[in-house]
Amino acid sequence: MVTENDVRDIAELADIGINTEELGPFTDQFNAILDYFDVLDRVQGEGSVIRDLSNVMREDVIELSLPQEEVLKNAAFQEDGFIRAPRVM
Amino acid sequence: MTDAQVIVGLEVHCQLDTQSKLFCGCSTDYRSDGPNTHVCPVCLGLPGSMPVLNKKAIEYAMRVAKALNCSVTDEAEFSRKNYFYPDLDKAYQITQYDKPLAKGGYVEIEADEGSGGKCVQITRIHVEEDPGRLVHMGNAERGRYSLVDYNRAGIPLIEIVSEPDMRSPKEARKFLNKLRATLEYLGVFDSEKEGSLRVDANISIAGSERVEVKNISSYKGVEKALTFEVTRQKNLLRRGRTVKRETRHFLEARGITQSARSKEQEHDYRYFPEPDLRPVNVQSWVAGIVLPELPDARRERFMAQYGCSANHARTLTGELRLANFYEHVVASGQKGLFTLAATWIADTLIGELNYRNMTIDTVQAAPFKKLLEHIQGDECTDKSGVEVLRVMLDTIKQGLPYETPLAILDRLNLRKVSVNITRPFAYGITLKSGVEPNPIMKALSEVLTEQPRAVEDFRKGKKEAFNFLIGHVMKKTRGRADPKELNRLLVEALKNREA
Amino acid sequence: MAAHETVFNPDDRYNAFLTVCRKAPHSDGKLAGIAVAVKDNISTQGIETTCASKILKGYIPPYDAHVVDLLKQSGAAIAGKTNMDEFGMGTTTENSAFGPTLNPCDTTRVPGGSSGGSAAAIAAGMVRMALGTDTGGSIRCPAAFCGIVGLKPTYGRVSRYGLIAYANSLEQIGPMAGTVSDVSLLMQVIAGYDRRDSTSYNKPYTHTPNPDIKGLTIGIPQEYFGAGVDPRVAEVTKRAIFRLEELGATALPCSIPSMEYALAAYYVTCTSEASSNLARFDGVRYGPAADTKKSWHDAYREVRRAGFGAEVRRRIMLGTFALSSGYYGKYYAKAQIARENVKKDFARIFSEVDVIAGPTMPTIAFKLGEKSDPLSMYLADILTVPVNLANIPAISVPCGKVDGMPVGLQIMGKPFEDERVVDVAFAYEQVAA
Ligand SMILES: [Zn+2]
């Protein structure tokens, strides 16, 4: 059982931005889905995932980068070749 | 309180010196280029792009693993470390979590106390990608924001994690220096490149909680940050308070650490295996790795081959470029040059370079060797040699045209002046002839006249008076006199006076 | 390269397209001049690519996905970008930020999802073929609901480079078309090794469908005909399998016990991967801008709150929870074990039979708005997700109707035996026609 507070914490960890009015329905849906996921408790077996491909690597060779204008093209704000982002400090 | 045990463990991140980035073909040679000029869909984290592992980065990391006596694991895997920051293009860092490339090695360093070495155990070695770079802009009034450059995003890093085996900030510094030297000898790391090293340090006082200091980005910074923490933590304990388990940031400019915000303290990174990459099974490559001569071996060789003192050998081999420089200088030189070069490089050149914030690769071996030969050939004194060296370094630093050491000697009028008794006319006229006195004899005779008390003291058996007189002669001749010869002349002159 | 131009002016009354390329250049080749629609989660250089999400509105990729490169090289004309459930998260194409796609067979019903736009564009005759992507049934479900053919290739057979990731370990790009032959033709073009996709295999597809299935053994898993499956759909599917037996195949009953938890394993895995994949949409490098007057976390949260639809945010939160410390072992790690068990079940069955057959979907296409509860929507994927968990190939081919709506026959094959499932579908198609 998760509570509205749990869902709020998960939303915080996910940095997803949740509205207060969404909290109730999200919590109900979460509980229904997590109840269904409980079937996994019955899973038996070994943990290791078998992957048949390994050592997929490339040689250390320089390839063409994108032109700077292509890099900046999709960015909303740019300044002297940099991309502008919200402050972190 | 003072003998409370300090416990330090380090996580060292070094940029691996590959040509291309860890997961894409963008060049790693970005430092002299504009922002966002070394990026592609992969390292910009564009939707739909996929990483492809650079084999060289794995090979480099394996060299390090072997050199640090680690065992390469039979299956390594890349994982995603999820956190959200504007310099992290994909909002996760591809790193290694529960299946690192190598585990369990050690590094030998000199212990603080007593002689001999100690082992710092290596917990693990893994490979990961560097994030981009953030520049903080604006101010409180006009608004703050960040500027992002993704050129650095995706540069391969090796992370070397030590056990908490170090007992002082100084030991941490030694460990770091040893690590740097080893990585450079292996040809996988260039410590001269700006920002090529970052360190996270765990530090505690025995019996107290552990503090993690993040983001130390220089060699000196590590010792500084740790020294600050030791003091801070000891002060807390002395005042009867407790040390909180927390993450702190090192503020290099202010030389202090500061508690990180609560969001960073929690960090639930939600690691899981990177589904776009396959496992790395490279244990079988280890046998094929041929290691070059490493710092310890080279130090032994310098002692055996060149007769370097233990201290000189350690200093010279502590940095790859320095060791190479030394060997360039003494190459095809005679035996006498070996010790002279060791002394001059280890005791003089390094200090002069540090003073000028210069690195050894700006200095050419040949002119330096010439200078040593002038000293060896009695054409200039040690003191003049230092002055010439300073001029040579200043010339390089200011980008002035090259001047031979001999030319500098002559220009500064520093060529050794000698009163060669066997060749009385070598410098023109001797004192006795009374026409143009040799400057040393002249200075000597002046000093004897000007310092009667010292002469008297000497006669009374005060040994210090002799050095006092020598000092004055040296001063008058601006150090051009050969000390050995001056000694002899002064002894003779004082004897004559007595007679 | 662009020697010719195709004029493309579809009557898109079903909202199948998000972007239409009215003048599509093309060159010569195997697909010369054929208008091919591309799902909007596949990157197209110079053409807006949104994954049907507001968070990517205006994003114009500076590069082509590998499959788009291959399409262009084969002479295809890129007709446009098709509608989908936002980031592929859905089974109806109702989760598009730009409005649902309607099912051309019955416009009161959904076309299935998440490649609903691609399926509808084909079913409505707007294009002959299209690319879809299949994470848990997203090609096969709309193929079944719209009465067309869709192939989910073996994982690794088609490069994912340029596919905007929803759940990397599960999804594949695959061909969709009106006929098995066209699906096979498109598969010839898009399959093959790509060094930019580390999970790519060097297994090109050069096959031409062969209807001879004499001696073929077909596994019929009881779970595909049991509870939760509309008996009418089960009946239509059984009849189709009987036709295959008439062609010389032998049907054998079998069981996939791991089906019990396959759907849970699927949803834990895909939401976990999605929570990580979708975190990069921060409004800094592309997409609607983050407010640079705010602090980073406030701006980031706001971009995601405003940019993602409810289902996407729900799945991001579920995945974040499944990966969080304390719950990783209960959810993510368990799901990976479950996944191995599904693979083992398939391997065991495939040691006795050549292919496995059953219905693609448990029901016919839902009414628009019918599946409002998330869990009931998830349960509709029960017959398609095992294939993704096991990384095997599967095709859906129309096999009859219920209530006038198409039903899909799903043929599942051994890893890298995409050719075999194509042949079986082709054999059925020939006798059904
Ligand atoms: Zn790149």
pLDDT, position C214: 97
Residue type, C38: V
pLDDT, position B418: 61
Mean pLDDT in residue range B270-281: 97
C93 contact partners, CB below 8 Å, separation of at least 6 = C83, C84, C85, C100, C101, C110, C111, C112, C113, C114, C115, C116, C117, C120, C142
Describe the crossing of helices C310-323 and A20-37 by its angle, rounded to 10 degrees.
Answer: 50
Question: CB-side exposure of B190: number of CA atoms within 13 Å?
Answer: 11
Domain limits, CATH 1.10.10.410, in chain B? 439-498
| Chain B positions in Cβ-Cβ contact with residue A55 (cut-off 8 Å) | 278-282
Confidence tier at B1 by pLDDT (50, 70, 90): very low
User: Given a contact as 3+ CB pairs under 8 Å, which chains touch A?
Assistant: B, C
CA dist C173 and C190 (Å) reads 9
| Chain B positions in Cβ-Cβ contact with residue C40 (cut-off 8 Å) | none
CATH classification code of B439-498: 1.10.10.410
pLDDT, position B425: 36
Closest CA to B69 of B108, B97, B32: B108
Confidence tier at C161 by pLDDT (50, 70, 90): very high
pLDDT, position B498: 64
Q: Which CATH number fits domain C17-190: 3.30.70.3000, 1.10.540.10, 3.30.2320.20, 3.90.1300.10?
A: 3.90.1300.10
pLDDT in tens, B398-432: 888 888 998 898 888 888 766 544 433 333 334 44
Residue B480 φ/ψ, nearest 5 degrees:
-80, -15
Are the Cβ atoms of C286 and B46 closer than 8 angstroms? yes
| Chain A positions in Cβ-Cβ contact with residue C261 (cut-off 8 Å) | 39-40, 42-43
Q: Domain segments of chain C: what residues?
A: 17-190
Query: DSSP labels for C235-256?
Result: HHHHHHHHHHHHTT-EEEEE--
Query: Does the pLDDT at position B199 exceed 80?
Result: yes
Confidence tier at B3 by pLDDT (50, 70, 90): low
pLDDT, position B430: 40
Query: Does the pLDDT at position C17 exceed 80?
Result: yes
Q: Within a 10 A sphere around the Cβ of A28, how many other Cβ atoms?
A: 14
pLDDT, position A88: 87
Tally the residues of chain C.
433
Are the Cβ atoms of A40 and C331 closer than 8 angstroms? yes
pLDDT in tens, B237-260: 999 999 999 999 999 899 999 998
CA dist B468 and B459 (Å) reads 13
pLDDT in tens, C299-349: 999 999 999 999 999 999 999 999 999 999 999 999 999 999 999 999 999
Q: Within a 10 A sphere around the Cβ of B309, how many other Cβ atoms?
A: 14
pLDDT, position B336: 86
Residue B360 · residue B396 · CB < 8 Å: no
Tell me whether C255 touches chain B (CB under 8 Å). no
pTM: 0.91
For B160-164, B215-219, C417-421, which range has the lowest pLDDT when averaged over its residues?
B215-219
User: Given a contact as 3+ CB pairs under 8 Å, which chains touch B?
Assistant: A, C
To the nearest whole number, what is the mean pLDDT of chain B? 90
pLDDT in tens, C53-91: 999 999 999 999 999 999 999 999 999 999 999 999 999
Mean pLDDT in residue range A81-85: 96
**What is the percentage of chain C residues whose pLDDT exceeds 90?**
97
CA dist B303 and B312 (Å) reads 9
pLDDT in tens, C192-210: 999 999 999 999 999 999 9
Query: Does the pLDDT at position B466 exceed 90?
Result: no
Choosing from C115, C138, C159, C258, the catalytic residue is: C138
To the nearest whole number, what is the mean pLDDT of chain C? 97
CA dist B170 and B175 (Å) reads 9
- Cα dist from B346 to B319, B335, B342, B343, whole Å: 11, 17, 6, 5
Tell me which residues of chain A, numbers 25 to 64, contact chain C at a CB-CB cutoff of 8 Å: 26, 29-30, 32-33, 36-37, 39-50, 53, 56, 58
Residue B64 · residue B184 · CB < 8 Å: no
Confidence tier at B455 by pLDDT (50, 70, 90): confident
Mean pLDDT in residue range C169-187: 98
pLDDT, position A48: 64
pLDDT, position B428: 34
Mean pLDDT in residue range C10-38: 95
Q: Which of C62, C276, C292 sits opposite B41 (nearest CB)?
A: C62
**What is the percentage of chain C residues whose pLDDT exceeds 70?**
99
Are the Cβ atoms of C293 and B143 closer than 8 angstroms? yes
pLDDT, position B429: 33
Are the Cβ atoms of C295 and A88 closer than 8 angstroms? yes
Tell me whether C317 touches chain B (CB under 8 Å). no
Residue B279 · residue A52 · CB < 8 Å: no
Mean pLDDT in residue range A35-54: 85
Tell me if residue C344 is catalytic: no
pLDDT, position B419: 55
Closest CA to C1 of C48, C45, C60, C58: C45
Query: DSSP labels for C277-319?
Result: HGGG--SSSSSSPP-TTSBHHHHHHHHHHHHS-HHHHHHHHHH
Strand blocks (E) in chain A:
57-58, 78-79, 82-86
pLDDT, position B441: 81
pLDDT in tens, B348-398: 999 999 999 999 999 999 999 999 999 988 788 888 899 999 999 999 998
pLDDT, position B436: 53
Q: How close B87 comes to chain C (CA, Å)?
A: 10
pLDDT, position B486: 84
pLDDT, position B424: 36
